[in-house]
Chain A
Amino acid sequence: MGWMEATVQGGISDQTRWMLAVRDAGDRNAFALLFGFYAPRVKAMAMRMGAPAAAAEDLAQDVMLRAWQSRAQFDPSRASASAWIYGIARNRRIDVARRAPATLPEQIAAEPGPGEAADAIALGQEVVRLRQALRMLPAAQREMVERAYLGGLTHQEISRQTSLPVGTVKSRIRLAIDRLRYELRELRT
């Protein structure tokens, strides 16, 4: 299934479509749209984490440049554009704060192709469900979720919270990883 059908089915967010246009065609207009959506949010995220406005603004621009630079690694079967940008923002914030090798797991390369598109649609639908679940949480609990993912809670504090409804999204991602592992083995044999 191609990306056009994917969009019609509504499984893929606008942001993820823009990110794919950036990845597959180096589309600058799509990048400008991504910038318009994410840069002000990354700036807000950095300020919530205690950065002064000027530093937060620099970080937001830097994060967007990195998103462009590493665009080939974007994998819509395992991450929404928002999850991907969130990850880059987290990494940049940590890199700036400490001079030691990064704590990043080894990457599994994205595999553009028909399998990716089908997995991406399925993931997109799970993300929509998760967003609804998150918005239906009681206000206090939702605020704890926000604090946890904006770096406001230690792992001991997170362990005292009730766990998040990541179950079905996790199963989807697991399937996409299995597909990539399978294709990797096929390449080697």
Chain B
Amino acid sequence: MMNPTQHVPEPMLAALVAGTLPYPFAMVVATHVSLCDECRAHLEAHQIVGGLVLDDLEPIDLAPGARVRTVAALDSLPPTSPGRSGDADYPAPISNLVGSGGPRWRSLGFGARQAILWTAAAGSLRLLSIPAGRPVPEHSHGGLELTLVLAGAFTDETGAFHAGDVEVADETLDHTPRATDDGPCLCVAATDAPLHFRAMLPRLLQPLFRI
């Protein structure tokens, strides 16, 4: 169990509970909750409020016989268990996106690698592996970026981020995250817009690397 000190913003926990958080962010927030009991308690508290809202809704009757049919269907149901099917090296729910074959890494140069887990017009989710002491290629944001540290640590102009910690960055933050010297840093990062690299070469490579 980790002891993260940099948490997910409260409204994102509420939005995850309500089912309105965009997919890449929802993945990062749910993975943080898997590693952080503090945010899990917060999430479950929001779920309690959701239950209170459900209680107070004006009920709309189902067709006659719906209850009898549903009770009769119970016998044919196998019980479910919260089984895991993905890569056990990664925390849930990211493990299910990584799959049993492991991530498909591609080089970003200078020893840095990334594996795209999900991408669509609404944003992207990727794993990033940065060698000890190396920076993430310099970039600014067109939108919101959520970065969760899975192993190792990185620092930037705003502070230090260790395993389980989340950094929230928006278009106003122009930062250079750098893996600490202790070892490589593995992160999962979600964005709702493509990243923009400032240096000329990485900008040309963006379509190629899909970042």
Number of residues of chain B lying within 8 A (CB) of chain A: 68
Also in contact, A145 and B49, with CB within 8 A (given A72-B79, A159-B11)? yes
Out of A39, A109, A127, name the residue touching B67 (CB < 8 Å).
A39
CB contact list, B97-122 vs A, under 8 A: 97, 118
Closest residue on chain A to residue B91 by CB atoms:
A106
Complex alpha-carbon distance, A177 and B36, angstroms: 11
**Which of B12-20, B153-161, B195-203 lines the interface with chain A?**
B12-20
- Contact partners of A41 in chain B: CB under 8 A: 54-55, 57, 59
B82 within 8 A of A: yes
Contacting residues, chain B, for A166 (C-beta < 8 A): 42, 45-46, 48-49
Distance, CA A149 to CA B78, complexed state (A) = 31
B51 touches A85 (CB 8 A): yes
Contact A163 B10 (CB under 8 A): yes
| Residue from A57, A65, A102, A106 with most neighbouring chain B CB atoms (10 Å) | A106
Q: Please determine whether A64 and B61 come into contact, CB atoms closer than 8 angstroms.
A: no
Minimum Cβ distance to chain B for residue A132 (Å): 10
A86 within 8 A of B: yes
Q: B117 CB to closest chain A CB, in angstroms?
A: 9
Q: Which residue of A lies closest to B73 (CB)?
A: A65
Interface residue? A9 (CB, 8 A): no
On whether the beta carbons of B51 and A79 are closer than 8 Å, the reply is: yes
Within 8 A of A (CB), among B27-56: 27, 29-31, 33-34, 37-38, 40-56
Count of chain A residues with a beta carbon within 8 Å of a chain B beta carbon: 82
Q: Which residues of B contact A6 (CB under 8 A)?
A: none
Please pick, from A69, A100, A153, A169, the residue contacting B20 in the complex, using a CB distance under 8 A.
A153
From the candidates B54, B62, B66, name the one contacting A86 in the complex (CB within 8 A).
Answer: B54
Taking the complex as formed, is B60 at the interface, i.e. its CB lies under 8 A from any CB of chain A? yes
B51 touches A105 (CB 8 A): no
Is A68 interfacial (CB-CB < 8 Å)? yes
C-alpha gap A113/B142 in the complex (Å):
51
Among the listed B27, B34, B49, B80, which residue makes an inter-chain contact with A130, where contact means beta carbons less than 8 Å apart?
B49
Question: Which residue of chain A has its CB nearest to the CB of B70?
Answer: A61
Q: Give bound CA distance, A60 to B78, whole Å.
A: 19
Interface of A is mostly: helix
Contact of B34 among A47, A56, A106, A146 (CB under 8 A): A106
B77 contacts the other chain (CB 8 A): yes
Tell me the minimal C-beta distance from B179 to chain A in angstroms: 26
Query: Is B1 part of the contact surface with A, judged by Cβ < 8 Å?
Result: yes
B171 at the A interface (CB under 8 A): no
B contact residues around A134 at 8 Å (CB) = 49, 52
Asked whether A83 and B50 contact (CB < 8 A) given A28-B74, A40-B60, A177-B37, the answer is yes
- Expressed in whole angstroms, the minimum distance between the Cβ of A85 and any Cβ of chain B is 7
State whether B53 touches A150 (Cβ < 8 A): yes
* A-B residue pairs, 6 tightest by C-beta: A82-B51, A40-B59, A83-B51, A155-B15, A101-B96, A159-B11
Contacts A47-B60, A103-B29, A177-B40 supplied; 9 other A-B pairs, CB < 8 Å: A44-B57, A44-B60, A72-B81, A83-B51, A86-B47, A131-B52, A159-B9, A166-B45, A170-B44
6 contacts between A and B (CB under 8 A): A39-B66, A86-B50, A100-B97, A106-B92, A106-B93, A173-B40
Residue numbers of A with Cβ under 8 A of B are 28, 31-32, 35-36, 38-45, 47-48, 53, 56-57, 60-61, 64-66, 68-73, 78-87, 89-91, 93-94, 98, 100-109, 127, 130-131, 134, 145-146, 148-151, 153-156, 158-159, 163-164, 166, 169-171, 173-174, 177-178, 181
Chain B residues close to A by CB (< 8 Å): 1, 9-12, 14-21, 23, 25-27, 29-31, 33-34, 37-38, 40-63, 66-67, 69-71, 73-74, 77-82, 86, 91-93, 96-97, 118
